[in-house]
Structure 1
Amino acid sequence: MKIGQWTLPNPVFVAPMAGVTDRPFRQLCKRLGAGYAVSEMAASNPKLWDSVKTSRRLNHDGEVDPISVQIAGADPDMMAQAALFNIHKGAKIIDINMGCPAKKVCNVASGSALLKHEELVVAILKSVVQVCKPLDVPVTLKTRTGWDREHKNVLRIATLAQDIGISALTLHGRTRADMYNGEAEYDTIKLVKSALSIPVIANGDIDSPQKAKYVLDYTQADAVMIGRAAQGNPWIFKQTNYYLAQGKELLPPRYSEMQEVLLQHLNEHYQFYGEHTGVRTARKHIGWYVAQLPGATEFIQVMNQLNTCSEQFNAVEDWFNELIRFEENE
């Protein structure tokens, strides 16, 4: 599929997740088959642009194009300024967040809270598209099905967005009130896809290659976006692409491959964050990688007490070496 002038290599994308899809993780997912990755949500408030947190989120050194940056906010002019700022930082696609259900986002009337205010949605979309269009930078929108189950207005929002000039729509098949509970509304995604001519990307509960194929077939969406299921499992992109192409499952990674990928991820993570932040933020990633492996609970307890990158790295390497020896002796 295409977003603006960009042709993407496959229809299996990684979803933007705050605190997860940083540059090292995005690059890893792309190496393992993700056809597209969107950055963590970046604030539109200029006062935050120089913060360490935002600066890291806007660091795209070495990333494969098209670099896509997601922006969030409730002020049309500020959102337009944020789009321009990120384009100057290397963004080739601007994604507008109207899907985040987090209270700290919705309490300032951005994210999925905007679904309550359709006039403001229109103003934001027009403002961002107006500044991006002359620069040949496509604008995309990520949203939900509505504010709550009694107020599902995504079809109207999606039609307005297409008319304004949005190049693609990602739809998480839940309302803001649903948070991440219940089941994704694939019927709603199917309805929206049938009404639009721009690409529609299906998001929500896609946790296996088989589920990805089902969602693509059922909704007729142009692509799927995988979020939580990629945490600690970046192989899901390669496995899903293989299943879509071949109709059969790819063998899961052996312990040696898991070790190699995780250690490379850790090295890039440490380089990106530095010693103090790197060792602490790596803990959740390590926990996700090993959660389903034998002896994980005890290992995670020990690993979480380590306070240097080298200690953490060596602990992971040694632990996997034991698993590899066990695997080879089976």
Structure 2
Amino acid sequence: MANRVVLAPMAGVSNAAFRLTVKEFGAGLVYAEMISDKGLITRNKKTLELLYIDEREKPIALQIFGGEKETLVEAAKFVDQYTNADIIDINMGCPVNKVIKCEAGAKWLLDPKKVYEMVAAVVDAVKKPVTVKMRIGWDDEHIFAVENAQAIERAGGSAVAVHGRTRIQMYEGKADWDVICQVKENVDIPVIGNGDVETPQDARRMLEETGVDAVMIGRAALGNPWMIYRTVHYLETGELMPEPSVREKIDVCLLHFDRLIKLKGEYIAVREMRKHAAWYLKGIRGNGMVRNAINQAETAEELRAILNNVAAQWEEQEKPEFQAV
């Protein structure tokens, strides 16, 4: 790993187009969005498409999830043999109901014994390093982060990423860095801290307060790959780089869009890019009107025209009003 800044796996977001764009801003390691073990075993077309990795993204961790040992192992073996991923990561943190109902994701958090058995079975079946991304616990009464991390280590896991929230918290409330620190103090494998890293200063503070080996950035990188670059630079030099200009934001947004078109085709890319464009435009005056226009765009040409119009107006005057194309 080139540095201590890691891009988190985010469902519906962390595809190859997004990952490569963020990787070029200096991420030391990127994670792909979680992939269903049963989808891999049944060779579901959409699931298999999630396995695509551009060599320029590496090193990369492909993340799988499942609730049954046999299917999880088979999925891991498939990733091991047929993909160019560097790491196989097991999801032990997804809080959504449809994953929990499959006895997968955050449901594992309640049973350190199952954690050991599942991770050990995967480690024994593959050659690639196996890591786990988990939450600190199910709820405030069931925080088994240390026990689960120790189980992962005993099972042969190479590293663990810890999101400082419980399953019940979902993505709300404050991440508990104290528990992340406890995990780091009780295992010898590398620990990656995740949760509430919204600025480069937060990243340094997490490293100092918890002792983790690396920081994982998720939502703060949405529409903002500069967060990765600025964090890497700040950790290495202590210098805080300036925020990007509107033109820079639009140019990278358009690059991301072109990659998404190549990956998924124009029709799907236009619709998926709507949310990404809104993230790139966050903080720009008049972005509400721009978002409305973007959400009505049907073609790549229309979307590009809207975005270029925004950049042109900001270049002409300091605080422009958005005018629809």
User: TM-score w.r.t. structure 1 length?
Assistant: 0.93
Give the aligned length: 319
Q: Distance in 2 between matches of 1:264 and 1:48?
A: 34
Q: Percent identity?
A: 38
- Matched-pair contact (CA < 8 Å) for 1:49–1:55: no
CA contact (8 A) 1:291 1:297 kept: no
Answer yes or no: is 1:269 the counterpart of 2:260.
Answer: yes
Instruction: Measure the CA separation in 1 of the matches of 2:40 and 2:263.
Output: 23
Where does residue 116 of structure 2 map in the other structure? Answer: 122
Which residue of structure 2 lines up, in the alignment, with residue 71 of structure 1?
A: 64
Deviation per residue, 1:258-308 (Å, 9 max, x gap): 122111111101111112211100100001110210110011101111111
Q: Structure 2 matches for 1:65-214, cutoff 5 A?
A: 65-87=58-80, 88-132=82-126, 135=127, 137-214=128-205
**1:327: Cα distance to partner?**
4.3
- Does the CA-based 8 Å contact 2:257-2:273 persist in structure 1? yes
Q: By how many angstroms is 1:256 displaced?
A: 2.2
Equivalent position SS for 2:137: coil
Q: What's the TM-score, normalizing by structure 2?
A: 0.94
* Contact 1:43–1:49 under 8 Å retained in 2: no
User: How far apart are residue 254 of structure 1 and its match?
Assistant: 1.5
What's the offset of the Cα at 1:247?
1.5
Which shifted more, 245-254 or 215-224?
245-254
Cα distance in 2 for residues equivalent to 1:234 and 1:183: 23
Label 1:117 to 1:194 Cα distance change in 2 as closer, same or farther (>3 A). closer
Q: Which moved more, 1:213-222 or 1:111-120?
A: 111-120
Structure 2: any 5+ residue segments left out of the alignment? 321-325
How far does residue 328 in structure 1 lie from its aligned partner after superposition? 11
Task: Evaluate the alpha carbon distance shift between residue 229 and residue 49 of structure 1 in structure 2; reply closer, same or farther with a 3 A threshold.
Answer: farther
Superposed displacement of residue 48, structure 1: 6.5
Decide whether aligned partners of structure 1 residues 258 and 146 sit closer, same or farther in structure 2, where only a CA change above 3 A counts: same
Q: Which runs of 5+ in 1 are unaligned?
A: 1-7
Q: Tell me by how many angstroms 1:325 deviates.
A: 2.1
Residues 51 and 326 from structure 1, CA distance in 2 versus in 1: closer, same or farther, beyond 3 angstroms?
Answer: farther
Moved more, 180-189 or 251-260: 251-260
String of CA shifts for 1:244-264, please: whole Å, max 9, x gaps.
Answer: 122131011112221221111
| d(CA) in 2 for partners of 1:35, 1:65 | 9
Q: State the AA in 2 paired with 1:33.
A: G
Cα distance, 1:164 vs structure 2:
1.2
> Equivalent residue for 1:5?
none
How many angstroms apart in 2 are the aligned matches of 1:176 and 1:84?
A: 28
For 2:44 and 2:301, the matched residues in 1 are separated by 27
Give 1:49 shift. Answer: 5.1
Q: Partners of 1:203 and 1:322 in 2: how far apart?
A: 37
Paired AA for residue 158 in structure 2: S
Letter in 2 for 1:84: K
Give the alignment's Cα RMSD to 1 decimal. Answer: 1.6
Amino acid at match of 1:212: A
